[in-house]
Amino acid sequence: MAAVESRFHHFAGAVLFAAMALTGCASGSRDVGTAANLTLVPADSLPAPALSDLAASERPYRVGPFDKLTVDVFGSEELSKKEIQVDASGRMSFPLIGTVAVAGKTPGEIEEAMEGLFRGRFIKNPQITVNLKEIISQTITIGGEVKEPGVYPVVGKMTLMRAVATAKGTTEFSKKDEVIIFRTINGSEYAALYDMRAIQRGNYSDPEVFANDVVLVGDSSARRIFRDFLQASPLIAPLFYLLNNNN
């Protein structure tokens, strides 16, 4: 995590400067609902999502190296409740059928591949269930001023706001207008600055995050200094009281 934090400080200045030139993505405007694709409706008129919308919010998980799977072959106790870890090359070994290439496949696609290998050779009409036991390959790193920084699995479609919520939200010292997503594409590093407050107001869409992304929430040094000042000043409360009385 220390290396990740150093990346934040290295890129933050340059990204912040570039983002200040943009009026859409990192806008500090207090206007609500300024995103072009957003329709504002009264609070009591927000429509429910359609079934297609609910389905679109999920992305099938694709198995990768070192993920752990649970495999059950219906009707066979010896071939059921098998816990298997995918190897570094994206393959797994299973009794009778040997090595199966699983990297990049969904659990459902692995089921079909295994049933094809079993069918006719060992079981006439195989029924196989493959479930994810532990996700290791598809993860995202969330750090900075969040309550529980760490590495989290990416299952389905994840956005920046959902990612921060997964880390139990921001801390009292977070700087929500300085949230950076780091992404590596074909060996090149990219970084983009986002303003969570603007997203919450609907000024632009909640950006999608992907496996291997690094999300860092900035630190408000002013808030931290003020907190330390309050803790170090036992007379601060009476002073505030006197100031209020003088107004």
Distance CA 154, CA 143 (A): 15
Whichever domain contains 174, its CATH number is 3.10.560.10
Q: Is residue 183 in a domain?
A: yes
The secondary element (H helix, E strand) that includes residue 69 is strand 68-73
127 and 150 fall within a common domain: no
Residue at a domain's end among 134, 157, 182: 134
Q: What's the pLDDT at 69?
A: 97
Q: What's the pLDDT at 27?
A: 43
Q: What's the burial of 13, exposed, middle or buried (CB within 10 Å: 0-12/13-18/19+)?
A: exposed
Q: What's the pLDDT at 60?
A: 83
- Please list, in sequence order, all residues whose beta carbon lies within 8 angstroms of the beta carbon of residue 111, skipping any fewer than 6 positions away: 128, 129, 130
188 and 206 fall within a common domain: yes
Distance CA 44, CA 244 (A): 40
The model's pLDDT over 144-185, given as tens digits with 9 standing for 90+, comes to 999 999 999 987 889 999 999 999 999 988 999 999 999 988
- Please list, in sequence order, all residues whose beta carbon lies within 8 angstroms of the beta carbon of residue 129, skipping any fewer than 6 positions away: 71, 72, 74, 111
Distance CA 194, CA 239 (A): 38
Provide the number of structural domains found in the chain: 2
157 and 170 fall within a common domain: yes
Q: Is residue 231 in a domain?
A: no
Q: Is residue 234 in a domain?
A: no
Domain interval for residue 98: 68-134
Q: Is residue 97 in a domain?
A: yes
Contact 68, 84 (CB under 8 A): yes
201 and 151 fall within a common domain: yes
The model's pLDDT over 204-232, given as tens digits with 9 standing for 90+, comes to 889 999 988 999 999 877 666 656 655 66
The secondary element (H helix, E strand) that includes residue 179 is strand 174-185
33 and 142 fall within a common domain: yes
